[in-house]
Each structure stands twice: as structure tokens, then as C-alpha cells.
Amino acid sequence: MIDLYTAATPNGWKVSVMLEEIGMPYTVHHVDIMQGVQKQPWFLALNPNGRIPVIVDRDAQNFSVFESGAIMLYLAKKSGRLLPRDTQGESRVIQWLMFQIAGIGPMMGQANVFHRYFPEKLPAAIARYQNECRRLFEVLDRQLAGRDYLCDDYSIADIANWCWVRIHFWGGSSIAGLEHLGAWIERLEARPACQRGIAVPHAVDWAALECDLAQKESAVRGMVTR
């Protein structure tokens, strides 16, 4: 049994979607990042960096794993699913997983911060991150030309990238004209396990987030920018 400590964010979805895809039993523990629960001592004992998600494998002497990419690799190895077993195939998937971790995640995260959350509008910063997101989206689009998934077979690389790219609108980045990428997003959106995974620990109410951000004392803005 896996205990999953998570919140409704792209990095959290990466793990919940994967758990749904491989059908591994798990128990969800909602970490209220708005209240700073991730900084409490009990959580820091699981992840010294104070970030979600974290898993604890109760079948492996309560072994804990933090960092979403590391968790995905651990679960892939444990289940024998969503990661090729041959050396080159495994390497290809890990390369595209790292592409998300090193590129898509950080750049989209900064686009979100400067476009949505930062109290001052800094056009140069917004343009810099939105443009870089677009460049990365174009890389994905080219990779997806002629194939359904990033490495031909569905894998953790698809899950990791999709969990971020699917909310491109939140950072103001466009996927207009990227037909292969758009079709891939829809392909994953149609998977039942993906739909279940992005509802963990709860569905995101984007309209409610917009309303909060319109307030002078926005709780969401305070949490993201402090």
C-alpha cells in the first residue's frame, strides 16, 4: 500500500495519475499547502525540502520518496509498468521525463507566477517565460509528429509532461497551431485514469482561483509569492 501526500498541482497529479494508471492501491493524504502544512516538522521528516508530493511505501519498511520524478521512477520500477525494460528504451523515456523536470515545469511555473500571481506586472519577465514555454511546446509538437506518445508507447514521460502542459492557459502560453501537441493533450485527457488522477485530492476550480486572485488580499497570491 502506498500513502500519497499531495495537493492539487501538476506535480501532485503526476503521481496520482500514475498510480491510477498502474492500478496500485494508495491512500490519499491532502497536504494543505495554503496553510503551510508542508513546512510542518512531520512533513519535513518525509521531505526536507517541504514540497509535495511524497509517497510512503508501507510494503517496503515505510520507505519514503520525495520529488515527483523520483516517485514516478520508483513506482515504474516497483510495478514494472510505464517504463521500458531495455536500456535504450528506458533512456529515451527518462530523457523526456527530464525534459519536463528541467524545462517544462520550471518555465511554466515561472510563467504562472509572473502572469497570474506576482503583484506587479513585469512585461519583460512575462514575455520571457511565455516565449520559452512556447519554444518547449514546439519541441514536444515536433517529437509527437507521426506518433501517439512521446516515446511511441505510453509512458511516465507522457504523464509528466501532460500534467503540466494541459494547464498552459494558466500561464498565458499558447499552443495555437501545434496540432500534434493538441491531439496528444486530448488523447491523454480521454484516458479514464488521467481523469481520475487529476481529481486527486480534489478537482481544481479555476474560476474560484481567478476570483481569489482578484482580491487585494489574495490567499493564493500570498502563498505563491512569499
Domain span holding position 72: 2-79
Considering 11, 45, 79, which residue would you say is the last residue of a domain? 79
Q: Is 48 among the domain residues? A: yes
pLDDT, tens digit (0-9, with 9 covering 90-100), for 18-65: 999 999 999 999 999 999 999 999 999 999 999 999 999 999 999 999
Could you tell me if 39 and 103 lie in one domain? no
Give me the residues paired with residue 153 across strands.
151
Confidence label for 222 from pLDDT (cuts 50, 70 and 90) = confident
Q: Is 125 among the domain residues? A: yes
pLDDT, tens digit (0-9, with 9 covering 90-100), for 186-209: 999 999 999 999 999 999 999 999
Q: Is 197 among the domain residues? A: no
As for how many domains the chain has, the answer is 2
Say whether pLDDT at 16 is over 90: yes
Note the Cα 65 to chain centre separation in Å: 16
Averaged pLDDT score across all residues of the chain: 96
What CATH number is attached to the domain comprising 182? 1.20.1050.10
Threshold 0.95, pTM exceeds: yes
Say whether pLDDT at 124 is over 80: yes
| Other residues' Cβ atoms within 10 Å of the Cβ of residue 140 | 23
Could you tell me if 183 and 91 lie in one domain? yes
Q: Is 221 among the domain residues? A: no
What CATH number is attached to the domain comprising 72? 3.40.30.10
Could you tell me if 94 and 60 lie in one domain? no
Could you tell me if 172 and 92 lie in one domain? yes
Confidence label for 220 from pLDDT (cuts 50, 70 and 90) = confident
Among 197, 211, 167, which residue's Cα sits nearest to residue 21? 197
Say whether pLDDT at 225 is over 90: no
Could you tell me if 93 and 62 lie in one domain? no
